[in-house]
Chain A
């Protein structure tokens, strides 16, 4: 028998850790989406640099949308901070043992790369700005005319995207006190979840103005530059199908990584087994199995398979399901992770 009582009563710490609410899952979610979009954009840029038709890869035009989504994620992160007037302190130092410090500096580079990448298409996708700011047009033409530059930008997007995606998992992974997070599989899991969510966002963007020419004006053009990655013309069916095939691959890998994560923790120490029970059978089992595995992976996997074989019409539903699952994954991992704790050796077997 073991009975423990404590007089400690600190808010958000007792009776159980709850320092991170909705803000951190939202931040990790948007960070993952942007990471996924950067990887896909990077691959597209490499192929364009090789001479393939740029209109076949609407991911090449996503950086502007990525920039906006990154800002939403950063806003959530800022809202989470309790001493936020001091946020600039993060950029007066570099703490090499802290994943958050690494991530903060990487995000600065990510912002820069997203903006430069957006330049490739911006004057064409948003003619209004192209006419008003000729410098943008000049910069865009300079980059577009030099395939090695596009290739370099492609590699940068690819590497940074993978880094950002893994970072969103490693951020949690390094905390020794939370056994549910003590698996490095969290890094690739969040990366592939981000890739499928990034593909889903691009799918939604391509459907936003489906079949209609994009507006050319100041406001309409700005929106279409973000939402309709192909610019004036919507993407063709083949392009959309290839994106769905990519998404299928990401979802299958995500499913395998979820299985590996469970296996990893279940076969580890008592603390880790107790931690994984929180999502397998415990208080977070329903959102995990129904939300993450069911709605987020299995259902869109089956639905998209039917779409690809032309048994059902193409809709945005699977993309919405993938996004819902991606957010739920982060929500479950952040919340269940905070509940998990080290099981004292002394209390075992008594």
Chain B
């Protein structure tokens, strides 16, 4: 059984937000909300400045606090791909998962249930990349099986310096950023 993850090359990302729009279109994300977004981080002091542009989303953590605190099992780890998913029909809208997520990846859908990035599970099960990965004009995003040593994502992680977001939270995120 695969364990899906995403690798994003911050040296290629230009922050064009194509991934954001593609996601909103593909997943019918309500107006005014987003499942993925662009974060720009500027570090250092002039002239030693470092800029990192990241396409961020749910990290589909290996140790997901949102799943652990969900009282109904609506937030769960899907058997196929080990991704974190929300079953709308089980969600009561208590918002504990939103409070528990260190990444602010979740929101309350206007229909009341909690929503977030699904890694485009409906596409992935048919062998197609998530919408954001498919449309990226700089090809900075890669998607694949982290448990497959020969996958593209593992090849990138082996050969490039990379980091995850807030590793100190102990959530073991599965979206990696190449720097």
- A interface residues (Cβ-Cβ under 8 A, vs B): 1-14, 17, 19-20, 80-84, 86-87, 89-90, 92-93, 95, 97-101, 104, 174-178, 337-338, 341-342, 344-347, 350
User: Closest residue to A5 on the B side, CB-wise?
Assistant: B40
Q: A8-B39, A177-B102 are in contact. List 18 more A-B contacts (CB 8 A).
A: A2-B42, A4-B40, A5-B40, A7-B17, A9-B33, A11-B107, A17-B104, A20-B99, A81-B92, A81-B93, A86-B93, A95-B71, A174-B100, A176-B65, A177-B65, A338-B99, A342-B166, A344-B168
Is B152 an interface residue, CB under 8 A from the partner?
no
Q: Which 4 A-B pairs have the closest CB atoms?
A: A82-B93, A83-B93, A8-B37, A177-B102
A14–B39 Cα distance when bound, in Å, is 13
With A12-B108, A19-B99, A177-B169 in contact, do A87 and B92 touch (Cβ < 8 Å)? Answer: yes
Contact A342 B102 (CB under 8 A): yes
A93–B38 Cα distance when bound, in Å, is 37
Contact of B90 among A10, A11, A86 (CB under 8 A): A86
- What are 26 A-B interface contacts by the 8 Å CB criterion? A1-B43, A3-B41, A6-B40, A8-B37, A8-B39, A10-B33, A13-B98, A13-B104, A14-B104, A20-B99, A83-B88, A93-B72, A95-B70, A95-B72, A98-B71, A174-B69, A174-B100, A175-B100, A177-B65, A177-B99, A177-B169, A342-B102, A342-B166, A344-B168, A346-B43, A350-B44
Please, which residues of chain B bring their CB within 8 A of the CB of A344?
165-166, 168
Contact B73 A93 (CB under 8 A): yes
Residues 62 to 76 of chain B near chain A (Cβ within 8 Å): 65, 67-74
Is B149 an interface residue, CB under 8 A from the partner?
no
- B interface residues (Cβ-Cβ under 8 A, vs A): 17, 20, 32-34, 37-45, 56, 65, 67-74, 88-96, 98-104, 106-108, 111-114, 165-171
Closest approach, in angstroms, between the C-beta of A168 and any C-beta of chain B? 14
With A11-B33, A81-B93 in contact, do A19 and B108 touch (Cβ < 8 Å)? Answer: yes
Closest approach, in angstroms, between the C-beta of B95 and any C-beta of chain A? 4
Contact B108 A7 (CB under 8 A): no
Please, which residues of chain B bring their CB within 8 A of the CB of A174?
68-69, 100
Closest approach, in angstroms, between the C-beta of A87 and any C-beta of chain B? 5
Please, which residues of chain A bring their CB within 8 A of the CB of B89?
86, 89
With A12-B107, A100-B71 in contact, do A178 and B91 touch (Cβ < 8 Å)? Answer: no
Q: Is the interface of A mostly helix, strand, loop or mixed?
A: loop
Contact A178 B99 (CB under 8 A): yes
Contact of B39 among A5, A93, A98 (CB under 8 A): A5
Closest approach, in angstroms, between the C-beta of A1 and any C-beta of chain B? 5
Contact of B72 among A9, A89, A338 (CB under 8 A): A89
With A10-B34, A93-B73, A344-B166 in contact, do A1 and B107 touch (Cβ < 8 Å)? Answer: no
A177–B112 Cα distance when bound, in Å, is 22
A54–B145 Cα distance when bound, in Å, is 68
User: Closest residue to A345 on the B side, CB-wise?
Assistant: B168
Contact B95 A82 (CB under 8 A): yes
Contact B69 A97 (CB under 8 A): yes
Q: Tell which of A84, A176, A345 has the most Cβ of chain B within 10 Å.
A: A176
User: Closest residue to A12 on the B side, CB-wise?
Assistant: B108
Closest approach, in angstroms, between the C-beta of B31 and any C-beta of chain A? 11
Contact of A176 among B90, B108, B170 (CB under 8 A): B170
Contact A7 B20 (CB under 8 A): yes
A245–B68 Cα distance when bound, in Å, is 41
Contact B169 A2 (CB under 8 A): no
